[in-house]
Amino acid sequence: MTDAVLDDVPASAKFVHYVLEEADRPLTTSELADRTGLPERTIREAIDRLRDRNIVETRAPSPRNPNAPLHDISPFQ
């Protein structure tokens, strides 16, 4: 992905994107908060911005926690 796509997103969204790129599997909002040290509300806002740009996708809930959707880098970016 080119950096230009992330130019107009906040630093928190860029950080969430980086963490998802480096992860070996999709992550829940809580896992992203743990890995970044950011509040879950900030994670949700970052995910929304990235999802609006088709950079991140949110999938069905985690098998370990049926109330926790999984976030991953979109294959269409």
Residue 7 sits in a domain whose CATH number is 1.10.10.10
Task: Give me the domain span that covers residue 25.
Answer: 3-73
Q: 3-class DSSP state for residue 52? A: helix
Q: Is the C-alpha dihedral spanning 10, 51, 58, 67 positive or negative?
A: positive
Structural domains of the chain, count: 1
- Per-residue pLDDT tens digits for 10-61: 999 999 999 999 999 999 999 999 999 999 999 999 999 999 999 999 988 8
- Per-residue pLDDT tens digits for 50-63: 999 999 999 888 67
